[in-house]
């Protein structure tokens, strides 16, 4: 799914800096960002990008906010002209004229001042709403991708780093971005309006005034680059810190953390990682402060020069006193507008990483969907075969599966056995269409499943994983999620729960089927591990799939429940094909056929009797376990 490194290198040399290729590597990412940062084109691209993102979040809110911003800018410019009119009138009064001419400009000034206050109040709330809508749209896009990418992406640290950055930034960046965008629009419009007002007094004032923005432009650009590099460099440490925080506050971890007395050790680790971060942050903020101070001082110096020039122009008689007074107001307002404009640009620059990350992340969706596309998958099969499967996890030198071939006939119960790490779960994941093999093929009735849509194929498989999910949702949802489209079929949900032997427990819960299976929620109740396992089985039973994979389905069941499950597996699953993984040979022997995996390869297969007669690895493991159940004298 990611571009090979050599291809990325070649592409980067052939493209302009602004459309440099996508990299997953934080160091490359920082370097390419540095290249991109230097161009004004980058700001233009980011500005366009921000508008698209905000526009797509909500057209109406975007239009209203922008219109309010433009209106605010027009009012500010009008304010300056009215101030001049007021001053002109006051000077007339000073010269002995009546107060009559002052009334209208003063009323106008009071009106526009009130309008500014009203527009600001409406705009603050509107901006907050817009930011929230951008935030929501960002989360929707992010969740769309996280749900669409294949399982392999979750094995990749690069994917995780990016997901983490998008997720972390998604909490704050939409606000910064919206503020930046609106700030830029308002700041720019304000600058234009005030410039027109200033030019109407004396055109020579404008260039000097605009020079005041130059230092701010350079320092804010440098500041945003520093911010970006800092964010990229801190991502891995941030992930570790968040993880360490979660381990210390997680409900699942709480018992082991206490039993092993890990609070101190984990806390120390957390503090060390946090201290390193705060040290880096202090250093980073010192650099930013130095830059900001330098930029503002230089800008203040230019402003002072403008005021001196104004005094000189009054002395020369080129500017009247009223114009000078209004120009001072305009200069003060313009300084604010320039700062808003540059602050907005800086906020957009700082959101550049987030926009880039979001873009690349969202771009994974069509790729993921193309990868998952294909012909409609069949809803059943007569034979399922795997031939010469080879599979390696990303970053792993040794394959988890190598040249694995198995066969399942419809209605059969087939067992996979083997020592820890021999590849059983990996094979199950390949058969469940969660991974694609690096080599070899999986065929349903002779047709390679790579031709089928993978989500479609997954709909024909029901899996109970070894580490199944305990959803902190209602009992009904916990079972119903086995086939979310049929969540309303309460009868079928109840029947699945009965088959898994958990319906009785659910009926005794305080809220019955509506009880949350979690103490995180009011009235919720947790279950025992074995009861949870039955819930996971019920979920698989509820899914109307012809192929069922059970990875250690009875690991937490009591002996009676385990016995009952395997004795009645054929009835429970009504002729569906079952592949189950188990370390308990008492259950394995009930299977029609057994495959033995060792070091990622199938070393033996056949029925229990065949394998015992063969007297190989299976027979050795079987006898080892059986001996543990026999009295010492009997096993002697
Ligand atoms: N997500 C992963 N990333 C990298 N390597 C993995 C991953 N999952 C499993 N492996 C490796 O692949 C090999 C096969 O693992 P697998 O989980 O398939 O074994 P298993 O037979 O199911 O083991 P167990 O009986 O302990 O459940 C092991 O060497 C394991 O370390």
Asked, for residue 612, whether it belongs to a domain, the answer is yes
Residue holding tokens 């930013």?
288
Q: Which of 11-15, 205-209, 433-437 has the highest mean pLDDT?
A: 433-437
416 CA closest ligand 1 atom index: 21
CA of 219 to the centre of ligand 1 (A): 52
Q: Is the pLDDT of residue 27 over 60?
A: no
Helical ranges in 18-156 per DSSP H: 26-37, 40-57, 59-94, 100-148
425 and 341 co-located in one domain: no
Domain boundary among 496, 524, 544: 544
72 contacts 190 by C-beta, under 8 angstroms? yes
CA of 608 to the centre of ligand 1 (A): 25
419 CA closest ligand 1 atom index: 25
Asked, for residue 467, whether it belongs to a domain, the answer is no
Per DSSP, what are the bridge partners of residue 461?
547
CA of 394 to the centre of ligand 1 (A): 12
CA of 422 to the centre of ligand 1 (A): 7
540 and 576 co-located in one domain: no
197 and 261 co-located in one domain: yes
Lowest average pLDDT, out of 21-25, 321-325, 422-426, 568-572, goes to 21-25
Into how many domains does the chain fold?
A: 3
Percent pLDDT > 90 in the chain is 28
170 contacts 135 by C-beta, under 8 angstroms? yes
Q: Could you read off the pLDDT of 69-123 as tens digits, one per residue?
A: 888 888 888 888 888 888 888 887 766 666 677 788 888 888 988 888 888 888 8
Predicted confidence band of residue 36 (pLDDT cuts 50, 70, 90): low
Q: Is the pLDDT of residue 574 over 80?
A: no
413 and 486 co-located in one domain: no
- Report CA 173 to chain centroid distance, whole Å: 13
551 and 536 co-located in one domain: no
Asked, for residue 67, whether it belongs to a domain, the answer is yes
Burial of 580: CB neighbours in 10 Å, binned 0-12, 13-18, 19+: buried
Q: Could you read off the pLDDT of 480-498 as tens digits, one per residue?
A: 999 988 999 999 999 999 9
Six-digit token string for 255: 């018992």
Q: Is the pLDDT of residue 610 over 90?
A: yes
Asked, for residue 465, whether it belongs to a domain, the answer is no
For ligand 1, atom 18, name the residue with the nearest CA.
Answer: 423
Q: Is the pLDDT of residue 29 over 90?
A: no
62 and 81 co-located in one domain: yes
Asked, for residue 308, whether it belongs to a domain, the answer is yes
290 and 381 co-located in one domain: no
Question: pLDDT value at position 96?
Answer: 66
Domain boundary among 494, 519, 544: 544
CA of 45 to the centre of ligand 1 (A): 45
Burial of 167: CB neighbours in 10 Å, binned 0-12, 13-18, 19+: middle
> Residue 34 belongs to a domain with what CATH number?
1.20.1560.10
CA of 600 to the centre of ligand 1 (A): 9
Q: Does residue 156 line the site of ligand 1, with CB under 6 A? A: no
435 and 480 co-located in one domain: no
265 and 181 co-located in one domain: yes
For ligand 1, atom 31, name the residue with the nearest CA.
Answer: 421
Q: Does residue 393 line the site of ligand 1, with CB under 6 A? A: yes
CA of 425 to the centre of ligand 1 (A): 7
Q: Is the pLDDT of residue 156 over 60?
A: yes
501 and 626 co-located in one domain: no
120 contacts 65 by C-beta, under 8 angstroms? no
User: What does pTM read for this prediction?
Assistant: 0.70
Q: Is the pLDDT of residue 168 over 80?
A: no
Q: Does residue 418 line the site of ligand 1, with CB under 6 A? A: yes
Query: What is the domain extent for residue 94?
Result: 22-369
Asked, for residue 341, whether it belongs to a domain, the answer is yes
Asked, for residue 277, whether it belongs to a domain, the answer is yes
The mean pLDDT of 177-189, rounded to a whole number, is 87
Q: Could you read off the pLDDT of 453-473 as tens digits, one per residue?
A: 888 898 899 999 988 888 989
Q: Is the pLDDT of residue 596 over 50?
A: yes
Q: Is 149 strand, coil or helix?
A: coil
> Residue 615 belongs to a domain with what CATH number?
3.40.50.300
For ligand 1, atom 25, name the residue with the nearest CA.
Answer: 420
Q: Is the pLDDT of residue 578 over 90?
A: yes
Predicted confidence band of residue 208 (pLDDT cuts 50, 70, 90): low
Q: Is the pLDDT of residue 5 over 70?
A: no
CA of 421 to the centre of ligand 1 (A): 5
For ligand 1, atom 4, name the residue with the nearest CA.
Answer: 393
Domain boundary among 369, 404, 425: 369
What is the biggest distance separating any 2 CA atoms in the chain, rounded to whole angstroms?
A: 127
472 contacts 516 by C-beta, under 8 angstroms? yes
Radius of gyration of the chain (CA): 35
Q: Is the pLDDT of residue 44 over 70?
A: yes
Q: Is the pLDDT of residue 331 over 60?
A: yes
Residue holding tokens 């402003």?
303
Pocket test for ligand 1, best of 151, 391, 393 (most atoms within 8 A of CB): 393
Q: Is the pLDDT of residue 538 over 50?
A: yes
d(CA 328, CA 306): 9
Q: Is the pLDDT of residue 31 over 80?
A: no
Q: Could you read off the pLDDT of 209-265 as tens digits, one per residue?
A: 677 667 777 776 777 778 778 877 887 788 789 889 988 888 778 877 887 788 888
Q: Does residue 394 line the site of ligand 1, with CB under 6 A? A: no
Mean per-residue pLDDT over the chain, rounded: 83
82 and 218 co-located in one domain: yes
Asked, for residue 15, whether it belongs to a domain, the answer is no
**Which ipTM score applies to this complex?**
0.97
615 and 489 co-located in one domain: no
For ligand 1, atom 24, name the residue with the nearest CA.
Answer: 420
Q: Which of the two residues, 148 and 407, has the higher pLDDT score?
A: 407
């Amino acid at each position: 799914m990611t571009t090979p490194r050599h291809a990325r290198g070649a592409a980067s040399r052939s493209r302009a800096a602004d459309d440099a290729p996508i990299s997953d590597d934080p160091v490359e990412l920082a370097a390419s960002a540095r290249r991109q940062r230097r161009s004004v084109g980058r700001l233009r691209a980011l500005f366009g990008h921000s508008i698209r993102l905000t526009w797509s979040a909500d057209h109406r809110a975007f239009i209203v906010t922008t219109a309010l911003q433009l209106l605010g800018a027009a009012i500010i410019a009008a304010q300056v002209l009215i101030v001049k009119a007021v001053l002109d009138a006051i000077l007339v009064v000073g010269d002995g004229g009546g107060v009559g001419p002052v009334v209208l400009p003063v009323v106008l000034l009071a009106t526009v001042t009130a309008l500014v206050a009203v527009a600001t109040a409406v705009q603050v709330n509107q901006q907050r709403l817009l930011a929230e809508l951008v935030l929501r749209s960002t989360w929707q896009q992010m969740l769309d991708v996280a749900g669409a990418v294949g399982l392999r992406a979750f094995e990749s640290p690069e994917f995780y780093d990016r997901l983490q950055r998008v997720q972390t930034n998604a909490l704050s960046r939409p606000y910064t971005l919206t503020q930046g965008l609106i700030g830029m629009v308002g700041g720019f419009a304000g600058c234009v309006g005030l410039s027109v007002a200033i030019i109407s007094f004396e055109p020579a004032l404008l260039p000097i005034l605009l020079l005041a923005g130059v230092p701010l432009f350079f320092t804010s650009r440098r500041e945003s680059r520093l911010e970006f590099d800092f964010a990229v460099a801190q991502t891995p440490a941030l992930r570790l810190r968040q993880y360490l925080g979660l381990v210390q506050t997680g409900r699942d971890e709480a018992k082991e953390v206490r039993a092993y007395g890990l609070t101190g050790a984990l806390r120390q680790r957390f503090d060390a990682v946090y201290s390193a971060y705060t040290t880096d942050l202090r250093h980073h903020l010192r650099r930013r402060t130095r830059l900001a101070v330098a930029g503002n001082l230089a800008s203040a110096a230019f402003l002072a020069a403008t005021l001196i020039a104004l005094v000189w122009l009054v002395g020369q008689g080129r500017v009247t006193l009223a114009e000078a007074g209004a120009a001072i107001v305009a200069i003060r307002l313009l300084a604010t507008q320039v700062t808003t404009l540059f602050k907005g640009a800086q906020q957009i620059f700082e959101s550049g990483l987030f926009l880039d990350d979001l873009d690349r992340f969202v771009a994974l969706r069509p790729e993921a969907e193309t990868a998952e596309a294909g012909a409609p998958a069949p809803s059943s099969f007569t034979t399922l075969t795997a031939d010469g499967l080879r599979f390696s996890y990303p970053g792993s030198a040794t394959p988890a599966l190598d040249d694995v071939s198995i066969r399942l006939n419809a209605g059969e119960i087939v067992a996979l056995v083997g020592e820890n790490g021999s590849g059983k779960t990996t094979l199950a994941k390949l058969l469940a269409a969660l991974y694609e093999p690096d080599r070899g093929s999986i065929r349903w009735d002779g047709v390679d499943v790579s031709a089928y849509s993978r989500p479609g194929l997954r709909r024909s498989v029901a899996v109970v994983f070894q580490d199944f999910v305990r959803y902190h949702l209602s009992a009904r949802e916990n079972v119903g999620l086995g086939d979310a489209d049929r969540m309303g079929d309460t009868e079928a949900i109840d029947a699945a729960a009965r088959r898994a032997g958990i319906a009785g427990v659910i009926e005794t819960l305080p809220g019955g089927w509506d009880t949350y299976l979690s103490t995180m929620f009011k009235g919720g109740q947790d279950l025992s591990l074995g009861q949870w396992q039955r819930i996971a089985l019920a979920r698989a039973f509820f899914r109307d799939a012809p192929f069922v994979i059970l990875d250690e389905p009875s690991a937490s069941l009591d002996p009676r429940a385990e016995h009952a499950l395997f004795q009645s597996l054929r009835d429970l699953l009504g002729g569906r094909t079952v592949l189950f993984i188990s370390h308990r040979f008492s259950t394995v022997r009930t299977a029609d056929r057994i495959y033995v995996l060792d070091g990622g390869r199938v070393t033996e297969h056949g029925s229990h009797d065949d394998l015992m007669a063969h007297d190989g690895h299976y027979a050795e493991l079987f006898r080892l376990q059986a001996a543990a159940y026999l009295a010492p004298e009997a096993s002697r």
